[in-house]
């Protein structure tokens, strides 16, 4: 029995263990100092945690990995672009950007939830494609409507042709304003205290949310929609709410992410964010139907340590810095693929286990 559970344990944590191994091998080769590494990881923790936490609620509601968190990211970007143009700087600018992003995120989440209710059981692929579709609309808004329809005045944001937004929008006016709001440095490691407080608050909200009636309903819906419906829970509405919440959180998370980066790559910032967040969550040991706050932080540490050390190690070994960049993209896709395969095989394995049980009980009956 104990041997069995050890094997189960290993299988459950196979992905985090594999990454731990990669990091352990690459870190010494890269030659990066521990304090540099610590600094980088803490920075990235503050930068990404909020975004990744936004993925938890749809998983709880049984809708899998929310690839359409990109929608929230786009809403956050639109908020930031507008605030930048209005020349509102610092923390007030960020807060205003969040306030602008929330209704946009909520609307997009509502749309996404409605579509996903029509595609039950295929939420992940559907949300992935939705993110491409909305990306098209985002480009239409940012490239053509900003200027003639939505007034954009500032020359550093507007394209020289008179409408549309430049490739890069500088966020110098609010760069790391949140991170540095409460300055604190411990042993040479700069800690973004205010960001961490916000992330901590979101964690508290998620923990509290699990204890609410709505959270309980989401768990029920996530495990068995039919049973939940028979018990009188409004399944469709519950699922839509989970998508709206996730998208809104993703929008706020994107603003926190971008204030740390210091600029917006208008046409590409959001496009890979979903993929990297999901990969990090999976690296932390989450699966399609189960994820915890612990998975989020473990995932950030492992995934981003690899992000930092792998390119360096690659450069040291091959002399080519591109190899590391290639490696990180390759690994994120690989992790997601492996997680999806494992999810399916586990489902199948459980099924054949039941059959074996039947064969066994018959054996007993015949012999007894």
Partner 1 sequence: MGKAPLLEMKSIKKDFFGNQVLTDINLTLNEGEVIGLCGENGAGKSTLMKILFGADSIRETGGFGGDIILNGEKVSFQSPFDAIAAGIGMVHQEFSLIPGFTATENILLNRESKKKSVLSQLFSDRMDTLDRKDMDTRADEAIQKMGVNIDKNMLTSNMPVGHKQFTEIARELSKEQLKLLILDEPTAVLTEKEAEALLDSIRGMSKRGIAVIFITHRLGEILSVCDRVITMRDGYVVNESATKDTSVADITKWMVGRDVAGSDANHVTEDLGADKKIVMSIRKLWVDMPGETVRNVNLDVREGEILGIGGLAGQGKLGIPNGVMGLYQAGGTVTFEGNDIPLNNPRKCLDSSFAFVSEDRRGVGLLLDESLEWNISFPAMQIQDKFLKKYLGGMIKWRDDSAIKAVTDKYIDELKIKCTSSTQKAKELSGGNQQKVCLAKAFALEPKLLFVSEPTRGIDVGAKSLVLDALKKFNKEKGVTIVMVSSELEELRRTCDRIAIVSGGKVAGILPAGEQLEKFGELMLQNC
| The binder of partner 1 chosen from 33, 156, 216, 321 (CB under 8 A) | 216
- DSSP string for 64-80: -S-TTHHHHHHHHHHHH
For 234, left (φ over 0), alpha (ψ -120 to 50), or beta? beta
Say whether residue 358 binds partner 1 (CB under 8 A). Answer: yes
Structure tokens at 330: 């390759």
Burial bucket for residue 196 (CB in 10 Å: 0-12, 13-18, 19+): middle
Cα separation of 262 and 42, whole Å?
17
For the bound state, the minimum distance from the C-beta of residue 12 to partner 1, rounded and expressed in Å, comes to 16
Chain centroid to CA 245: how far? 13
For the bound state, the minimum distance from the C-beta of residue 221 to partner 1, rounded and expressed in Å, comes to 9
Task: Pick the piece of the chain touching partner 1 (CB under 8 A) from 63-71, 205-213, 250-258, 291-299.
Answer: 205-213
Q: Which is nearer to partner 1, 228 or 331 (CB)?
A: 228
* 15, 282 Cβ separation under 8 angstroms: yes
**Taking CB under 8 A as the rule, which mask of x and - marks residues 37-76 in contact with partner 1?**
----------------------------------------
| The binder of partner 1 chosen from 208, 326, 330, 333 (CB under 8 A) | 208
For the bound state, the minimum distance from the C-beta of residue 66 to partner 1, rounded and expressed in Å, comes to 20
| Residue for token pair 């961490």 | 196
Say whether residue 354 binds partner 1 (CB under 8 A). Answer: yes
Say whether residue 368 binds partner 1 (CB under 8 A). Answer: no
Buried b (16+ CB within 10 A) or exposed e, 103-139: ebbbebbebbbebbbeeeeebbebbbebbeebbeebe
Say whether residue 348 binds partner 1 (CB under 8 A). Answer: no
Task: Pick the piece of the chain touching partner 1 (CB under 8 A) from 87-95, 136-144, 322-330, 353-361.
Answer: 353-361
**Taking CB under 8 A as the rule, which mask of x and - marks residues 261-300 in contact with partner 1?**
----------------------------------------
Please list the residues that pair with 264 across neighbouring strands: 169
| The binder of partner 1 chosen from 213, 319, 367, 368 (CB under 8 A) | 213
Query: How many residues contact partner 1, by CB under 8 A?
Result: 28
Question: CB-based contacts of 361: which residues, under 8 Å, 6+ apart?
Answer: none
Q: Which is nearer to partner 1, 102 or 306 (CB)?
A: 102
Cα separation of 11 and 15, whole Å?
8
Longest dimension (CA), the chain: 87
Please list the residues that pair with 158 across neighbouring strands: 165
Say whether residue 227 binds partner 1 (CB under 8 A). Answer: yes
Chain centroid to CA 59: how far? 12
Cα separation of 354 and 49, whole Å?
39
Say whether residue 233 binds partner 1 (CB under 8 A). Answer: yes
Say whether residue 359 binds partner 1 (CB under 8 A). Answer: yes
Say whether residue 351 binds partner 1 (CB under 8 A). Answer: yes
Task: Give me the residues that bind partner 1 (CB under 8 A), please.
Answer: 208, 211-214, 216-217, 219-220, 223-224, 226-228, 230-233, 351-352, 354-355, 358-359, 361-362, 365-366
């Amino acid at each position: 029995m104990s041997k069995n559970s050890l094997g189960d344990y290993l299988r459950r944590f196979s992905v985090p263990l594999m990454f731990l191994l990669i990091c352990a091998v690459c870190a010494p080769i890269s030659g990066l100092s521990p304090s540099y590494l610590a600094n980088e990881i803490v920075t990235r923790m503050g930068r990404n945690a909020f975004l990744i936490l936004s993925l938890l609620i749809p998983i709880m509601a049984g809708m899998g990995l929310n690839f359409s968190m990109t929608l929230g990211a786009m809403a956050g970007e639109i908020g930031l672009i507008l605030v930048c143009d209005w020349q509102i700087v610092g923390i007030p600018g960020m807060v205003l950007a969040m306030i602008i992003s929330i209704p946009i995120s909520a609307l997009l989440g509502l749309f996404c939830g409605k579509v996903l209710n029509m595609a039950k059981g295929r939420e992940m692929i559907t949300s992935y494609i939705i993110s491409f579709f909305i990306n098209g609309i985002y480009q239409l808004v940012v490239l053509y409507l900003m200027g003639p329809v939505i007034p954009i005045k500032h020359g550093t944001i507007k394209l020289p042709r008179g409408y549309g937004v430049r490739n890069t929008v500088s966020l110098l006016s609010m760069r790391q304003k949140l991170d540095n709001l409460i300055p604190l440095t411990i042993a040479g490691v700069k800690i973004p205290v205010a960001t961490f407080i916000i992330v901590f608050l979101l964690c508290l909200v998620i923990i509290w949310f699990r204890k609410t009636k709505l959270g309980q309903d989401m768990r029920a819906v996530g495990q068995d929609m039919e049973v939940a419906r028979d018990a009188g829970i409004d399944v469709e509405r519950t699922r839509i709410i989970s998508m709206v919440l996730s998208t809104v959180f993703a929008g706020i998370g994107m603003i926190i992410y971008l204030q740390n980066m210091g600029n917006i790559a208008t046409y590409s910032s959001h496009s890979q964010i979903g993929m990297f967040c999901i990969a990090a969550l999976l690296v932390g040991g989450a699966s399609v139907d189960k994820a915890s706050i612990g998975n989020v932080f473990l995932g950030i540490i492992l995934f981003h340590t690899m992000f930092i050390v792998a390119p360096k190690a690659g450069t040291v070994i091959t002399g080519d810095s591109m190899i590391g960049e290639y490696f990180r993209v390759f690994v994120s896709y690989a992790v997601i693929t492996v997680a999806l395969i494992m999810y399916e095989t586990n489902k199948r394995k459980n099924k054949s286990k039941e059959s074996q049980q039947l064969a066994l009980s018959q054996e007993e009956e015949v012999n007894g």
